[in-house]
Structure 1
Amino acid sequence: MESEQSVDLTSDTRPDLREEFRFSPLLTVLCLLVCGAGMGLLFWAVTLSDDVRLASPESRDLERIASRMLGFESRLPELSLLEQVMYRLGGQDGETQEQIQRWYEERVNEQSRPLDGLYLGMIYGEAGLTNQLSRIVENWESERNPYALFREFLEVGYGQSETSSPDYPFLQAGLAEEVPTNWFYFHLARRIAVQAGDRNLQENLQLQEYQLTDPPLWKWRALLVGEVVVIGIGVVLLLRLGIARLRGRASPIQTGFIKRGIPWTFREGIAVLARGGALTILLMGLVAVIPDGIGIIEDFGIALLYLPPVVLTAILLCRTRKQSLLQVVGCSNVWQRLKDCLPLVVMLVTIGLVGDWLIVLGGDAFQSSVHWTEWFVPQLIWGTRMELIKTTVDFVLLAPFFEELIFRGILYTTLRTKFSFPLSMVASGLIFALAHGYGLIAFLTVFWSGLLWAWAYERTGSVIPGMVAHAVNNGVVVYSLVSFFR
């Protein structure tokens, strides 16, 4: 890693700060309280309130997720041993159906659409949970269409009643009309065809299901090959770095570099971050209550979220001291730094992927998983082509740029002017993960990434390695969602 930027610690480690800005301590405390309240509300909404979490997602989102995931898992026996192992390393150790069952049990209530109840009944039937299936069927005894028709679908499909020849065409026609062409349709239609002894329709349905699941399967294989190649290169680079360190040929990790050239003190940084965070929360709140405010947030959320702290830091703490924020966080000579940091980025992506796998597998061991509402992005699935492009740009370019600038470039830098490297790394990683508002497992994966990108910043003096690794990480997520669910 001789190409990484080294830091001259023999030079003066602190610039001339001239006179320190006198920010009002009372206002800083009030702003911190606003930031804490905003993060607390976000944490509560995501992890403690099922009503808030489940009120916004639409049934079609879960339908698409369940259908594609179950369809993909039905093809597992055809995969090679390596592919099956990699699939299980992703945390799906044959538990997809159990997860989807829990998700549908959360959704099925008096306000849910009839199809949700049909899908849950099918999941019970596929899992052999006859008591639960019987309860759903019994609850529909006095209901009219479509419940009466759905009740007949379940009773015939899962052997609770037999169908006569005159009824069979009616059932298949009703199923094709009421249920979208997805995994649920193919499996229920095939079960009814089995009951009627219609082998031709069984084979035709199997062929149609293969045509539906083939594209996601091949796209997953392409993603798998890419991840294996990157991990292989990353392992080689890590081994080379380890051997070089053992032989004393690699430069040791520099510490204390963050104080070099930073034009603000700890108190100034905290004061500006508090004001920027409070301004962000107030702006989001004001926009949310105006007409079409939610649409404005969806279209310009990146600017509302990230610009206030960045602009305040650039103007109050950098420009007044004739410095550039981008230069302070190591974004000068971008192309040269990109070339120099490429090996480090590959190692970051490798360690990040392996760490994510271990966290997900650990969560499975304790019966904890990532909820679908935490990773599903409706704009990527249902949006127009322009919405898809905009959302992709937001996730892959703008979010990594601004988040690294704020959480590593400003927050970590501020912490590092006062605290040690490990403490600053952990504190900034925790705040970074909390700000995303995820549940436990997703929180841990974000926290892990925050630790890695803070280490890269400490090592190189530049946020560029973290930005690139962050962009790759988000790009993989976007590719996966678009490939499998759009």
Structure 2
Amino acid sequence: MSRSFQIPNLMCYPRPMSDLPSEALQEVPPVPSRPAPLSPWVTAVCGAVAGAYLGFSVLTVSPSPLDRLDQPEESLERLVTREMDLRAALRQAPEWKKTLYATLSGGEDTLADVIAWYDELIGTGASPIAQLYRVVLVAEDGQTGRLNAALVPWEFQGEAAFRMGKWVRAGYLGSDLDREGARSLLMEIRSELPPGWFADTLAARVAAKLGDPTVQREAEAAIGARGAALLDRWIGLTVAQGVLLVLGIVALGGILRRRTAGAVGEAPLPPVWTAQDGYGLFVRGTLGFLLIGLVSTFLLPKESPYSGISTLAAGLPLVWWLHRYLSVRGLSLPETFGLTLPAGGLRRVAAATFVVIGLSVLGEVAITLVSGTLNYKPHWADGLLESILWGPPWLVACEVLDSVVWAPLIEELAFRGVLYATLRMTVGVWPAVGLSGAFFALVHGYGAVGFASVLWSGILWAVAYERTRSLLPAILGHMFNNLLVTTEFIWLLRL
């Protein structure tokens, strides 16, 4: 029976229905298959490993910021000497400089604050020099009873401590010294202490007791000159930020007058990937970043040039995953993230970037004013960049390159380009702005003020991406922000 049905069917088509030869029909290309999505199982494993790593880091990190520093004594000494030099210069500065500094700096730290910093440091087992610095600060604050109590043990702690005790007694407690003895103490102070506020202050106090106004004026003039230079640098940086704020306001006004949407690119939002693939890309890039950082920490000494290069290499896994994912779908990074500008787009990018920078400066000023009003002061070691403060020039160059160029590019691809765009698909625009900004701030590991600052930046850059359909304003704004922070740190603390 089966044969009787098949034979007529075959005989119905004695030749091809088309006029084309049968060979041409066989050459029709097959329909290309859709690229497979990222494996959710691999995403889950990568997420679990990255989460375990981050959780372990949080649980094992010391609650004291001092334990995160390699050179806490030297770093605190640099911070305090610059602070005290600046404070001395402010006492002689014009009123407008005093007002400007008091308004925008969040209020200066009191001597009690600085003494508390040294109390914490000495509690970890500091050197005799650090203990001397603390005693000098106590003496400058007029705490005579505490000063006497601190000097008593020094008589039994060796020759160096006994000698430093003589310096303090001569400068603050009126020890009887002849002229030769006082000059000998001045020579010891100059030869054994590094140049700076502590050495000059001790020398000025001893010279005042000795009745040598020339030495006293020289020491006080050195403090004033250093402080005046620092104050001028700070004002220069403040003026530069003020100019950026004005440019941002002008650019924003121009955009509002034209009533344009502000788009400068054509990045697709929602993105070209699914939510599952978006989270997969972010998790894979994050795990690669963490693993490269972990390997470099254990295998490379900090003095090695490769340690600086490894910081730059840590962002490559994300770029590789994005390139791989997009290329098999016929897409590229520039078109996916709006990095290719249409005609006339350069002016719109510049305007949007100045708006982002201006709002960033405005937010920083607001955070400073609010924290000052609440009398909340971050820990002095919070966010301290020791590698830039003490590192050799090659390491500083790597850190600056990473902070100003590479980190903004990688972080914007990760947190705005991938994470924000993916969250936008699942929770909506404004929740995605807040969540991506909060996670961005959280992973930086700063205190409350630092968290607020990074959160504001993350929110601002996500909104910029949403409004402009391009990552360029966010990347450039991020670069300018990090450039300002790095320049301020180097100019006020390293140089």
Contact kept? 1:179, 1:185, Cα under 8 Å: yes
Is residue 359–residue 445 contact of structure 1 (8 Å, CA) maintained in 2?
yes
Q: Residue 274 of structure 1: which of 275, 278, 283 is its match?
A: 283
**TM-score relative to the length of structure 2:** 0.85
TM-fit CA distance, 1:282: 2.5
Match of 1:197 among 193, 211, 215: 211
What SS does structure 2 have at the residue aligned with 1:77?
A: helix
For 2:48, the aligned partner's letter is L
Deviation at 1:156, TM superposition (A): 2.2
Residue 299 (str. 1) matches residue 271 (str. 2): no
The SS at the match of 1:104 is: helix
Alignment of 1:419-458 (within 5 A): 419-458=427-466
Q: Compared with structure 1, are the counterparts of its residues 296 and 414 closer, same or farther at alpha carbon in structure 2 (3 Å cutoff)?
A: farther
Distance in 2 between residues matched to 1:77 and 1:285, nearest whole Å: 48
Q: Which residue of 1 aligns with 2:351?
A: 343
Larger radius of gyration: 2
Who is 2:82 aligned against?
68
> Match for 1:117: what amino acid?
Q
| Alignment partner, residue 33 of structure 1 | 48
1:436 aligned counterpart, secondary structure = coil
Cross-structure match for 2:28: none
- Out of 321, 330, 334, the residue aligned to residue 326 of structure 1 is 334
Q: Which residue of 2 aligns with 1:3?
A: none
Q: Structure 1, residues 293-348: CA drift from partner, whole Å, max 9, x if none?
A: 78467312433432212211221x21110111232111113995443222222222
Q: Take 2:440 and 2:124, find their aligned partners in 1: how far apart are those partners?
A: 38
2:297 is matched with which residue?
Answer: 288
How far apart, CA to CA, are the structure 2 residues paired with 1:103 and 1:480? 22
Q: Which amino acid aligns with 1:141?
A: E
- Cα distance in 2 for partners of 1:443, 1:365 equals 18
Which structure 2 residues correspond to residues 241-280 of structure 1 after superposition, within 5 A?
244=257, 249-251=258-260, 259-260=268-269, 262-280=271-289
Structure 1 residue 45 displacement after superposition: 6.1
1:228 corresponds in structure 2 to 242
Give the C-alpha shift of residue 462 in structure 1: 0.8
Cα gap change, 1:320/1:394 in structure 2, threshold over 3 Å: closer, same or farther?
A: same
Quote the offset at 1:50 in angstroms. 4.7
- Which of 422, 431, 438 is equivalent to 1:414? 422
Flag structure 2 segments of 5+ consecutive residues without an equivalent. Answer: 1-31
State the superposition RMSD in angstroms. Answer: 2.8
Summarize deviations over 1:409-461 as a string: whole Å, max 9, x none: 12112222333111111111111111211111111101111101111111101
Q: Is residue 180 from structure 1 mapped to residue 191 from structure 2 by the alignment?
A: no
Q: Which amino acid aligns with 1:132?
A: R
Offset of residue 83 of structure 1: 2.6
Deviations 1:162-194 (A, max 9, x none): 433332012101111111110111111111111
Aligned length, in residue pairs: 461
- Are the counterparts in 2 of residues 45 and 53 from structure 1 also a CA contact under 8 Å? no
- Report the secondary structure of 1:251's partner residue: coil
The CA distance in 1 between the partners of 2:140 and 2:52, in whole Å, is 45
2:319 aligns with 310
Counterparts in 2 of 1:175 and 1:34: CA distance versus 1, 3 Å: same
Choose which of 114, 118, 124 in structure 2 pairs with 1:104.
Answer: 118
Q: Which residue of 1 aligns with 2:127?
A: 113
Secondary structure of 1:475's counterpart equals helix
1:65-105, Cα deviation, whole Å (9 max, x unpaired): 21112101211133334432332234341325444323222
Could you tell me whether the CA contact under 8 Å between 2:40 and 2:276 is conserved in 1? no
**CA distance in 1 between partners of 2:60 and 2:447 (Å):** 10
Q: Against the structure 1 CA distance between its residues 118 and 132, is the aligned structure 2 distance closer, same or farther, given a 3 Å change threshold?
A: same
Structure 2 CA distance for aligned equivalents of residues 98 and 298 of structure 1:
39
Which one is further off, 74-83 or 115-124?
74-83
Aligned amino acid, residue 83 of structure 1: K
* Worse-superposed segment, 369-378 or 399-408: 369-378
Which segment drifts farther, 356-365 or 272-281?
356-365
Secondary structure at the counterpart of residue 158 of structure 2: coil
Report the secondary structure of 1:48's partner residue. Answer: coil
Please tell me whether residue 59 in structure 1 is matched to residue 67 in structure 2.
no
Q: Are the counterparts in 2 of residues 288 and 294 from structure 1 also a CA contact under 8 Å?
A: no
Higher mean Cα deviation, 372-381 or 305-314?
372-381
Q: CA deviation at 1:356?
A: 1.5
Cα distance between partner residues in 2 of 1:359 and 1:38: 32
Distance 1:409 1:71 in 2: 44
Q: Counterpart of 2:77 in structure 1: which amino acid?
A: E
Structure 1 pair 47–232 and aligned structure 2 pair: CA distance change class (3 A): farther
Q: Which residue of 2 aligns with 1:464?
A: 472
> Does structure 2 retain, via aligned residues, the 8 Å contact 1:259–1:417?
no
Q: Distance in 2 between matches of 1:131 and 1:336?
A: 71
Aligned to 1:4: none
Match of 2:387 among 374, 379, 384: 379
In 2, distance between residues paired with 1:82 and 1:46? 44
Distance in 1 separating the partners of 2:454 and 2:186: 46
Rounded Cα–Cα distance in structure 2 between residues aligned with 1:90 and 1:338:
33
**In 2, are the aligned partners of 1:261 and 1:328 still within 8 Å (CA)?**
no
Q: Could you say which residue in structure 2 is the equivalent of 1:157? A: 171
1:12: which partner in 2?
Answer: none
Taking the aligned partners of 2:379 and 2:343, their CA distance within structure 1 comes to 39
Greater Cα shift, 462-471 or 226-235 = 226-235
1:407 CA drift (Å): 1.2
For residues 223 and 414 of structure 1, do their structure 2 counterparts lie closer, same or farther at Cα, with a shift above 3 Å needed?
same
* Farther-moved stretch of structure 1 (43-52 vs 461-470): 43-52
TM-score by length of 1: 0.86
What residue number does 2:26 align with? none
